[in-house]
Structure 1
Amino acid sequence: NKVSQINQPEKQTIEAWDRLKKIGGITPKITFKDLIYIATRDLEKPERFIVKKNNVKIYSVQKMRETGIQFVVEDALRRLEHCERIYVSFDVDSMDANVSRGTGTPVKSGLYESEAFQLMSGFAKSEKVCCVEITEINPTLDNKKNLMAEIALEILEQTTLEIEKRL
């Protein structure tokens, strides 16, 4: 995203990034039509630019609450029908700041625990979901005595149980 570029990476970093992108011989690894953002609240200017330019589907937390979690899951899976496999990355930053203190960027008006469980459970039921990750957990920032890591573990456990049911 050179148009909205904030930093100038070192030459060595750019070369390493370019090598990583070519691993496995498949390039690109993902296209923008294969990308969906769910439970977003706060995008930085470069993110807004790239999302708008490439018509990436976004479901805000507010929109998700209006339409319902089940609708969002079904609509996202429908939009990804062309994908052979689906990789779900759950960023704990998407959760409400009252829960998500153990992360670098807690923001208000995020997902509640029950909504996160529903969302991840909904995706885990899909045969196409082959991998799930939970990101941005930082216990050193958690002023609630590791609450965020415990919630993330619960989400992962519930999601894993849902995946096991379909295997």
Structure 2
Amino acid sequence: MGVVPSPLDCYLVNRSLKTLALRMEQHKKSSLKIAEWLAKHPKVTEVLHPGLSSHPQYELSKRQTCGHSGVFSFRHSGGLAESRKFLSSMKVFTLAESLGGYESLAELPSVMTHASVPAEQRKELGISDSLIRLSVGLEDTEDLIKDLEQAFEVAFK
């Protein structure tokens, strides 16, 4: 019928719920600040963050929600080689497919979460080798921005 959590799992969930609102507020503020920084970066061609007015569903998001999470995507002007260099040079962000935790994570959907999707369908969905997904955690926002900046320098030198 489903998973039966252990008493420890239940305790940990209950304990974590007490700080969820505070953590979500930090995810929200940090991800928006990083998205705004990325939108100005010369190597970034698009930022897909619902808190930015450039997002296709920005107005809908404002009407239907009271915020957003720390997960969003962006596209850069390079391809697969630049994406791999970018992700492998990160020092604060961790390369991972799991999103939405307290630590900052990054992934390349075209070869990770969506690798089994046929190439033509990935293209139709906009999942290219230059699309990077970030899950902004609770680390210092300036440290995360510095990490992204140094990763761009490595990937595009």
TM-score range (shorter-chain normalised) is: under 0.3
Higher helix share: 1
Q: Taking CA–CA contacts closer than 8 Å with sequence separation of 6 or more, which of the two structures ends up with the larger relative contact order?
A: 2
